Chains A and B, each alone.
Chain A
Amino acid sequence: MEIIKELIIGLFYIIVFPGLLFLVIYGGLSEWLDRKFYAQMQNRQGPPWYQPFADIIKLMSKQVIIPKAADKKMFKILPFIAIAAINTSIFMIPIFSNSALYGFRGDIIAVIYLLSIPTATLFLIGWSSTSPYATIGSMRVLTQLFAYEVPLLIAVLGPCILAGSWSIEDVAVFFTNNPWLMLVNIIGFLVAIVALQGKLERVPFDIPHAETEIVGGVFTEYSGRLYGFMRLALDMEMVVVAALINAVFLGGSFGYSGWIGLLLFVIKTEFVVFLLSVLKAAMARVKINQMVDFCWKWLAPFAILQILICIVARFMING
């Protein structure tokens, strides 16, 4: 009986909350907000709130075309691997309270690692669909990965050094107890926001699926259900990444839980989404070499500067 009970609870965590269902619904709403902000900044009205869900339902009901030259097994499996990786990473991030479901020491590294699996699947789906556009797109995905991943990781490590812990939970608790110390991390926060644009492949860094150059990039050959799942994966990734930024830089739920925790979570993650869409609306696409240059010449040094500031601040706190 015990085992069955635990199994049901585990399945509830995986499928309903904070797993698949929560991520799908919140991801859809976040995508809508993102598109709405974007539309408002272009002085137009934007899509209605149910738009992402209509898109997903429509894509699910469409025919799936698998090209003859493609690797059929990989082509079919990869979107689900991306979703599984994202779904796993949400368990280690605190959501409505300051405690994560399965937090452990060093989980921040595990989360960063799990979040780079979707990028790897993006590369693989481009590679296995064998279309020239998709292949170029997948090469760009990898080039981009090596540019933004390092600044992102270094920026996220800043708060960890300040808090003296490698666990996301502890970092959130630390900033809840010392909210003013969040100001120390402001450079790291901005670096992380810019690097996230690369991770989520949004406008300044949407080089892997630049529509004017390489059609749909890595997604060129994807249609119907499989494309729908890939879109879902990107939406879910946005939520997970916003939750990570919320926990690491913005102090988690400030010790609240329940409804207030939920409200704080929604406000802060949507604030992160808002910043991301401001960047998206304000900028045009850059070239891949400019992107790599920018990440290594500006983002990485600023991230290292942030780490230095954090180390100094840590010594000052400890006296």
Chain B
Amino acid sequence: MIKNLKEKAVTWSRIKSPWVLHYNSGSCNGCDIETLDALTPRFDIERFGVLLKGSPRHADVLLVTGAVTKQQAKRLRRVYDQMAAPKFVVAIGACACSGGVMYGCYGVLGGVDKIIPVSAYIPGCPPRPEALIDGVVKLLSTLKK
């Protein structure tokens, strides 16, 4: 029973306090601007406990924007490996989901899921901040199950 309670508390805390790390793996900056928009006081996602963290060691959710270029693939993998488990990845924008318009380009490997496991995809070019918040909330609501 105590174990059950502990598990419940841990799940609750994970849902209530997702700290994010923003990483650009070759985006055109459109999605980055929207991501930063979502962090502004207008949307106030600190209501849900979301904090932007600088170090991958502190973060729970990795927000990746842009198609993964060949140069960035190794770094993306490394940033992902530096995060402490449990960790989640959210691919933001059409390019991060599948490669988008960059698909098949000579310098581009493709979507983020070619390199690291992705938990949530947020399509759009670029997605609105509301879509981004919705995506993170949906990702966290799957934790309950």
Does the CB pair B44–A216 fall under 8 Å? Answer: no
Cβ-based interface call for A54 (8 A): yes
Residues of B within 8 A of A227 (CB): 57-58
Cβ < 8 Å to A, chain B residues 12-36: 12-14, 16-17
Does the CB pair B47–A46 fall under 8 Å? Answer: yes
Residues of B within 8 A of A246 (CB): none
Does the CB pair B17–A58 fall under 8 Å? Answer: yes
Cβ-based interface call for A293 (8 A): no
Q: Give the bracket for the number of chain B residues in contact with chain A.
A: 20 to 34
Cβ-based interface call for A253 (8 A): no
Tell me the bound Cα distance from A62 to B55 in angstroms. 15
Cβ-based interface call for B115 (8 A): no
Cβ < 8 Å to B, chain A residues 41-75: 42-48, 50-51, 53-58, 61-65
Cβ-based interface call for A199 (8 A): no
Contact status of A47 and B46, CB under 8 A, knowing A58-B13, A61-B13, A224-B84: yes
Contact status of A48 and B14, CB under 8 A, knowing A58-B60, A223-B58: no
Cβ-based interface call for B117 (8 A): no
Tell me the bound Cα distance from A216 to B85 in angstroms. 18
Cβ-based interface call for A267 (8 A): no
Cβ-based interface call for B53 (8 A): yes
Cβ-based interface call for B137 (8 A): no
**Smallest Cβ distance from B22 to chain A, in angstroms?**
12
- Contact digits for B115-142, partner A, Cβ 8 Å, 1 yes 0 no: 0000000000000000000000000000
**Smallest Cβ distance from B119 to chain A, in angstroms?**
16
Does the CB pair B49–A216 fall under 8 Å? Answer: no
Tell me the bound Cα distance from A62 to B88 in angstroms. 13
Interface size on A, residues (CB 8 A): 34
Cβ-based interface call for A149 (8 A): no
Tell me the bound Cα distance from A54 to B85 in angstroms. 17
**A54: contacting residue among B17, B44, B53, CB under 8 A:** B17
Cβ-based interface call for B54 (8 A): yes
Does the CB pair A50–B16 fall under 8 Å? Answer: yes
Does the CB pair A45–B82 fall under 8 Å? Answer: no
Does the CB pair B9–A57 fall under 8 Å? Answer: yes
- Contact digits for B34-77, partner A, Cβ 8 Å, 1 yes 0 no: 00000001101011010001110110100000000000000000
Of listed B10, B16, B82, B85, residue having the most chain A CB within 10 A: B16
Does the CB pair B17–A64 fall under 8 Å? Answer: no
Does the CB pair A57–B58 fall under 8 Å? Answer: no
Does the CB pair B13–A216 fall under 8 Å? Answer: no
Does the CB pair B41–A43 fall under 8 Å? Answer: yes
Residues of B within 8 A of A55 (CB): 13, 17, 49
Tell me the bound Cα distance from A224 to B60 in angstroms. 10
Cβ-based interface call for B86 (8 A): yes
Cβ-based interface call for A222 (8 A): yes
Does the CB pair A48–B47 fall under 8 Å? Answer: yes
Cβ-based interface call for A39 (8 A): yes
**B57: contacting residue among A35, A57, A61, A216, CB under 8 A:** A216
Apart from A44-B42, A215-B54, A227-B58, 19 more pairs, CB < 8 Å = A35-B46, A39-B44, A46-B44, A48-B47, A50-B16, A51-B49, A55-B49, A56-B13, A58-B13, A58-B17, A62-B84, A62-B85, A63-B84, A63-B86, A65-B84, A219-B55, A220-B57, A222-B57, A223-B57
Q: Residues on B close to A: CB < 8 A? A: 9-10, 12-14, 16-17, 41-42, 44, 46-47, 49, 53-55, 57-58, 60, 82, 84-86
**Can you pick out 30 interface pairs between chain A and chain B where the beta carbons lie within 8 Å of each other?**
A44-B41, A44-B42, A46-B44, A47-B46, A48-B47, A54-B12, A55-B17, A57-B10, A58-B10, A58-B14, A58-B17, A58-B60, A61-B13, A62-B85, A63-B84, A63-B86, A65-B57, A65-B84, A212-B54, A215-B54, A216-B53, A216-B54, A216-B55, A216-B58, A219-B58, A220-B55, A221-B55, A222-B58, A223-B58, A223-B84
Q: Residues on A close to B: CB < 8 A? A: 35, 39, 42-48, 50-51, 53-58, 61-65, 133, 211-212, 215-216, 219-224, 227
